[in-house]
Amino acid sequence: MSGGYTGKILEIDVTTQKTFVSDTDLDFCKQFIGAKGLGAKILFDTLPKNTDPLSPENLLLFTTGPLTGTKIQTSGRGTVVTKSPSTGLYLDSHFGGIFASDMKKAGWDVINIKGKSEKPIYIEIKDDLVTFHDAKDLWGMECQKTHEKLQKIHGKMRTAVIGPAGENLVKFSSITIEGHRHAGRGGPGAVMGSKNVKAIIVSGSKKVPLHDEDAYNAQAKEILKKIKENDFVPLRKQFGTPYWVKPVNDEGFIPTRNFQEGQFEHGDDLSAETMVDHIVDSSGACFNCIIACWNKSSIKQGPHKGISLVGPEYETLALMGTNLEIKTVEEVAFLNERCNELGMDTISLGCVLGFAIEAYQKGLIEKKDLNDINIDWGDTEEIARFIHAIAYRKGKAADILSEGVKYASEQFGKNSSSYAIHAKGLEIPGYDPRGTNGMGIAYATSDRGGCHQRAWVAKAELYDPELDRFSFEKKAKMVKEIQDERAAFFSLVLCDFAPISEEDCVEMWNHATGFDHTVDSYLKCGERIWNLIRLFNIREGLKENSDILPERFFTDSFSKGPAKDRVLSKKEFQQSIQEYYQIRGWDQKGIPTEKKLKTLGLDSYKK
């Protein structure tokens, strides 16, 4: 086996509690890199068509890449790949911490979990040794407590756990890594819960093999130097993602009151500067990362004094803060901690709560269905009670909403789909496309539904003088190119926030493996991965005209801020989507053409 990969895939059938080891296919690795790409390939090849995401047949894949666990900065990232219960489509959800590094050092490129255990269990993986443990004492426990209890029993093993929301199959439940990082989006926690697996713990003692270790480590040092010299890294280090609250609020596209407005009058009270003044104690980092963007925080005043957490991140400040009219960082931190402990994604939950409050105010939810909870904008305590109800599916409304906004709007009817903020069933993050049009194309075409990480063009739209953020011009090409580049990058797999050039990525991949890729062939891998996932989604039921956005973005305008009175033009949006298809080499229905698939070596996949 080439360096960079361990060469081994661990398959675990939790129904029979049997394990099976297979070889990682080097030809696949050359074409699909690892992590995201390798997971997509395995999912496409081995998951039966139309598998119910919460059935025993679904696969829960923990994947690493050829750079995972090595000396390059941010190499502690890992990926969960599965069929999403939120969207019924492809899902990958990335996580930080050190779990993935230990998984690789235990000898595994991929851990592939399928089946359904008769009783709750957790799985211990110590190098080659796999042990199944009864989890009856852990079932029902919140995430941090589960993590602590497992470490008390097993020592410093790395943990991936679910909370009560995952156990109760909430469609946007997350997997929590080492107590405070998250594979958050798209409901991987529900997939794990459906298998009756409460936790996976791992430790590894092996060395990651490298083809040319001296060249690899020398270049890792060069990359470290470049990261230290990067202009944006000090801000990332000082503030983390909350840095973006102020510019996005000032420029008028932060979600406010379920995306009814783009600017929140108390936005400055949720800014990074306020966080640093009020709640941040210190910074922290994932495995091998000098950027150290985590904010380790604790609440120092008010009714929730003493609660500590890592966060809140920008997305939480937006979706659980401005979007719900929560006015202080302490209150957002409290709600964030509740979501973390119950095991739910704060982006999706923030959209669900915003939708619920609006639907309730419009008379679509009856008071009796809320179990005496009086949800309202800015009411932190009642919102916290409702978060708990959703995690446990308590009450008719909470049970419906635990399926996500798409399903809930189908149940509530009466035009509520127009303000159910999602793309393909995945709720939309914290950049309203009425103030950053390119994000509209990014959300609509993202491979996992409403996601900002596949092509985060908001920063360029704000600061590049060549771009007009209120226009779709140039955005289709830009989104396509970033999607391909990110697909490759997330397959290596490194952190979104690491400023590492394509050239350096390719060199490191080659030093690790002995491959002879170029930047062009690396980017082509990204394009290949993107197209394979598109074929998977079409196979699983993605229809024509699915690359769309909620109606609100086309009809409702803001009453204030720099994006005041603006709506998206549907005609221009649709033209931009067609332009995107054309640039991708897809037909007018968004299906990859034979010609395009042939250039990517994917022609046999269409049949």
CA–CA–CA angle 174, 446, 287 (5° rounding): 45
Comparison of 32 and 239: residue with beta carbon closer to ligand SF4: 239
Task: Choose the stretch contacting ligand SF4; rule: CB under 6 A; options: 26-34, 290-298, 361-369, 576-584.
Answer: 290-298
Q: Does 293 bind ligand SF4 (CB under 6 A)?
A: yes
Q: From the CB of residue 114, how many other CB atoms can be counted at a distance below 10 Å? A: 19
Q: Cβ 496 to ligand SF4, closest distance in Å?
A: 7
Task: Choose the stretch contacting ligand SF4; rule: CB under 6 A; options: 99-107, 119-127, 291-299, 439-447.
Answer: 291-299
Near ligand SF4 in 302-341, by CB under 6 A: none
Task: Choose the stretch contacting ligand SF4; rule: CB under 6 A; options: 255-263, 282-290, 310-318, 352-360.
Answer: 282-290
Near ligand SF4 in 486-515, by CB under 6 A: 495, 497
Q: Cβ 172 to ligand SF4, closest distance in Å?
A: 21
Q: Cβ 372 to ligand SF4, closest distance in Å?
A: 39
Structure-block tokens of residue 309: 């957490």
Structure-block tokens of residue 165: 């929301």
Q: Cβ 128 to ligand SF4, closest distance in Å?
A: 28
Helices (H), 373-518: 380-391, 396-401, 405-412, 437-445, 458-463, 475-492, 502-513
Q: Which residue from 452, 495, 472, 473 is spatially nearest to 568, judged by alpha carbons?
A: 472
Residue 361 Cα distances to 126, 321, 370, 560, angstroms: 52, 19, 13, 22
Residue 570 Cα distances to 167, 237, 544, angstroms: 40, 39, 16
What does the H/E/C string look like for 310-371? Answer: ECCCHHHHHHCCHHHCCCCHHHHHHHHHHHHHHCECHHHHHHHHHHHHHHHHCCCCCHHHHC
Q: Which residue from 348, 338, 290 is spatially nearest to 312, judged by alpha carbons?
A: 338
Comparison of 96 and 435: residue with beta carbon closer to ligand SF4: 96
The site for ligand SF4, by CB under 6 A, has a size of 11
Q: Does 292 bind ligand SF4 (CB under 6 A)?
A: yes
CA dist 484 and 220 (Å) reads 24
Q: Does 96 bind ligand SF4 (CB under 6 A)?
A: yes
Structure-block tokens of residue 469: 């953020």
Comparison of 353 and 495: residue with beta carbon closer to ligand SF4: 495
For residue 72, which amino acid is it?
A: I
Q: Cβ 38 to ligand SF4, closest distance in Å?
A: 20
Q: Cβ 497 to ligand SF4, closest distance in Å?
A: 4
Near ligand SF4 in 17-76, by CB under 6 A: 74
124 φ, ψ (degrees, to nearest 5):
-105, 125
Q: Cβ 482 to ligand SF4, closest distance in Å?
A: 18
Q: Does 220 bind ligand SF4 (CB under 6 A)?
A: no
Q: Does 291 bind ligand SF4 (CB under 6 A)?
A: yes
Q: Does 285 bind ligand SF4 (CB under 6 A)?
A: yes
Q: Cβ 100 to ligand SF4, closest distance in Å?
A: 11
Contact residues for ligand SF4 (CB under 6 A)?
74, 96, 285-286, 289, 291-294, 495, 497
